[in-house]
């Protein structure tokens, strides 16, 4: 087993206390370490040559080491994967009545860089780190053995894989997938495209925020911006909303949202509008449109620190354009899935935008990702989702 070592002045205490990453400037990167194949397993030592655990090494990544096991003599075989997956599954089956949830949430579930979403008998695996790509066959075998899923999709796409030096690929690696999968959630039905949709096909992280927002939706006119396959809008209709307008830039996503509405029998109260959300917001403002409940759930405007300033300006702009569309006494829900924008920064940007939109607001609820997206306390990046619900005055 290769050995890699922290620099003498690197802080080993954080690793001992549960931080799962070593950055490239903290590791001795001699010629031997630089020559390791991405995904290689190695023993990590501190500056005094004391073992800290078993890590995976990727010399091409800024995150050069990811902690796999505190036991430096651990064997990464199918049984090891099965134990990690079984532990993750035990919590989800306690929380949810049906097998539709995020099964593995990367570092927080002890499988760094690995995301697995379950859709009944189908699972979608995102191997976002080089070590997971190298061990994919073993990971899939363990997943099938523990959960009994009959089909597995590899979704090898996204920014994380690029940062790891991996190529993009989406493929069915076990069984077969024929068309969109129907997902029941919060009384609504969603159509998830597991092969051609965004991410794994559906965003489970918003489940509790859908549920809270739906409580405000009875008899309401709802505007669901950046709706994807109808996330908030369909949940609101299931709770008794008068109508819902879903806005998204993706025609395929809106088509799936319409299919979900038809499956629920609420197609008469559901409408879609394709276009850039900012353009649609401005157009609706010009038209004098009013809604009792407006939800904005955009993609990550600040996925990393270099994009933070521009991202916060974008969140402020969303709030400024959306606030005038809310009827007096109505509600505005603003969401951020940006790692780099912490809660305070996002809340401040949202408040500025609402004020610039000419409205005053009460913040009545702050939501986060559901419990199938656990947060690793030592890794702030694992707690990325924020959802702010405001009540606006006249």
The catalytic site residues sit at 337
Q: Per this entry, what is the length of the chain?
A: 394
Full 3-state SS string of the chain: CCEEEECCCCCHHHHHCCCCEEEHHHECCCHHHHCCCCCEEEEEECCCCCEEEEEEECCCCCEEEEEEECCCCCCCCHHHHHHHHHHHHHHHHHHCCCCEEEEEEHHHHCCCCEEEEEECCEEEEEECCHHHHHCHHHHHHHHHHHHCCCEEEEEECCHHHHHCCCCCEEEEEECCCCCCEEEEECCEEEEECCCCCCCCCCCHHHHHHHHHHHCCCCCCEEEEECCCCCHHHHHHHHCCCCEEEEEECCHHHHHHHHHHHHHHCCHHHEEEEECCHHHHHHHHHHHCCCEEEEEECCCCCCCCHHHHHHHHHHHHHHHHHHHHHEEEEEEEEEEECCCCCCHHHHHHHHHHHHHHCCCCEEEEEEECCCCCCCCCCCCHHHCCCEEEEEEECC
> Can you say whether residue 181 is alpha, beta or left, with left for phi > 0 and alpha for psi between -120 and 50 degrees?
beta
Rounded to 5 degrees, φ, ψ at 47 are -65, -15
Contact 35, 393 (CB under 8 A): no
Task: Give bridge partners of residue 114 from the DSSP assignment.
Answer: 127
Nearest to 190 by CA among 106, 286, 256: 256
């Amino acid at each position: 087993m290769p050995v890699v070592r922290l620099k003498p002045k690197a802080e080993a205490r954080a690793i001992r206390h549960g931080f799962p990453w070593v950055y490239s400037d903290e590791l001795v990167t001699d010629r031997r370490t630089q020559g390791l194949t991405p995904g290689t397993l190695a023993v990590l030592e501190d500056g005094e040559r004391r073992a800290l655990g078993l890590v995976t090494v990727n010399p091409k990544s800024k995150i050069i080491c990811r902690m796999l096991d505190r036991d430096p003599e651990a064997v990464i075989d199918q049984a090891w994967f099965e134990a990690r997956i079984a532990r993750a599954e035990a919590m989800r089956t306690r929380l949810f009545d049906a097998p539709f949830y995020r099964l593995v949430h990367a570092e927080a579930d002890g499988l760094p860089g690995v995301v697995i979403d379950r859709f009944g008998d189908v699972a979608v695996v995102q191997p976002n780190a080089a070590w997971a790509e190298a061990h994919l066959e073993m990971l899939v075998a363990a997943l099938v053995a523990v959960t009994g899923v009959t089909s597995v999709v590899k979704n090898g796409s996204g920014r994380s894989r690029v940062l790891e030096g991996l190529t993009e690929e989406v493929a069915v690696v076990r069984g077969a997938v024929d068309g969109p999968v129907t997902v029941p959630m919060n009384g609504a039905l969603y159509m998830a495209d597991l092969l051609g949709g965004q991410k794994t096909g559906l965003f489970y992280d918003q489940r509790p925020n859908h549920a809270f927002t739906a409580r405000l939706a009875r008899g309401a006119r709802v505007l669901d911006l950046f709706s994807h396959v109808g996330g908030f809008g369909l949940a609101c209709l299931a709770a008794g909303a008068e109508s819902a307008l879903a806005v998204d830039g993706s025609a395929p996503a809106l088509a799936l949202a319409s299919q979900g509405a038809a499956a629920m029998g609420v197609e008469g109260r559901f409408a879609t509008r394709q276009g850039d959300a900012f353009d649609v917001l401005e157009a609706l403002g010009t038209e004098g449109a009013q809604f009792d409940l407006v939800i904005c759930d955009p993609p990550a405007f600040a996925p990393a620190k270099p994009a933070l300033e521009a991202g916060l300006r974008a969140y402020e702009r969303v709030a400024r354009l959306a606030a005038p569309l809310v009827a007096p006494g109505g509600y505005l829900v603003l969401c951020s899935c940006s790692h780099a924008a912490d809660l305070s920064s996002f809340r401040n940007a949202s408040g500025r935008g609402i004020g610039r939109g000419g409205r005053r607001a009460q913040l009545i609820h702050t939501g986060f990702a559901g419990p199938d997206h656990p947060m690793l306390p030592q890794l702030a990046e694992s707690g990325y989702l924020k959802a702010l619900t405001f009540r606006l005055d006249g």
